[in-house]
Amino acid sequence: MLRLRFILTIILAAPVASLAAYPQPAPPVIAGYIFPQNGALQQSQIDPRGMTRINYAFAAIQNGRMVVANAADSANLHQLTALRKQNPSLRILISVGGWSGSAAFSDVALTPQRRAAFIQSALEFLKSYDLDGLDVDWEYPGLPGAGNRFRSEDKRNFTLLLKELRARFTQESAQAHKKLLLTIAAGAFDDYLTHTEMAQVQQSVDTVNLMAFDYYEAGVDAVTGNHAPLFTDPADPKKDSADATVRAFEADGVPAAKIVLGVPFYGRMWQKVPNVNHGLFQPGKPAPNGEPPYSVIKATMLDHGFTRYWDPKSNAPYLYSAEKQIFLSYEDPDSIAAKGKYVLTHKLGGMMFWSYFNDSSGELLGAIDQALRKSDSGQTTR
């Protein structure tokens, strides 16, 4: 009888053991860029509970080494790492580069010796500030960006830089018993894919933070449009969208699980836009203060002389004032909810946003958390 009970116990326990051993999917990444713009941070300004990662923007590159960009950065990084007391699984990363800080990347990546020096400085930086990883925001390999130096060799050297970073990070992680994350901020346009080797790059990085916004910019585009559309509106002259970009990155070899979909916490605004189709896909001119943060949009524009419209093809909201002839493309909780559903349906790695202080109320971050919460196991460790 005892033998029979023992056998039954083993049989009944087997499925439980096998389920426990089966790897569970990681909860979605929610990565927020914090960009204090030379200002001093206080812990009380930031609620870390809705994020799994904070990317501090930006570190600088001087003489081939990664260094703090501003006097306040050191203290700010200490303020951020202290937030782990409120959210112990929060990961704090440093982002290096950015639109106006990528001038040195082409030189840094050019030779094995230069790459090694930069990587060593990056590791020293992470250790010095007790950080969890590095976000490489090279805007953009092989392209001029903000007037930056660029070379045809950038395409291959970008791959090598990340490969060598990963090798050192793996070595350091084993010694420190703490995984160091390596991520990139990627441009959401075809030329970015043409000038990078994403199938190889993705092997070295934990996630690709896809900047799926700025598809339309008033200073660049003479026609208005959705600057962060989820899907492509057939009437869109440029035929761009986050979905089209995700599919392009997947076709280039990036697994869906490594793609973190970016959303903007700011708008894009045009003036002198005729009252046709409520201003959507119409000619316009750049408007003053043409990148208003969401907090300003909600406080001074939404229901303040502007009417909200919804592009059902793109799943994108926009505002238009016929009296002022001003058109604004932006993100709101409804469009974020649609993107969250898309992330879950397509099994993407999560969502990221630029940037935290553009939404002082926390409404948009709350919408991201709400949209992704259903798949969160409660362990925000990615």
Residues marked active site are found at: 139
Q: Whose structure tokens read 């441009």?
A: 187
382, 53 in Cβ contact below 8 A? yes
Backbone angles phi, psi at 378, to 5 degrees: 95, -5
Written in H, E and C, the secondary structure of 196-208 is: CCHHHHHHHCCEE
197, 182 in Cβ contact below 8 A? no
Residue 366's Cβ-count burial label (10 Å; 0-12, 13-18, 19+) is middle
Written in H, E and C, the secondary structure of 294-310 is: HHHHHHHHECCCEEEEE
Structure-token pair, residue 224: 């208005």
Query: In this structure, what is the dihedral angle of CA atoms 276, 279, 281, 282, given to the nearest 10 degrees?
Result: 70
Residue 69 CA, distance from chain mean position: 21
Rounded-to-integer distance, Cα 62 and Cα 50, Å: 34
191, 168 in Cβ contact below 8 A? no
Rounded-to-integer distance, Cα 87 and Cα 337, Å: 24
320, 267 in Cβ contact below 8 A? no
Rounded-to-integer distance, Cα 58 and Cα 258, Å: 22
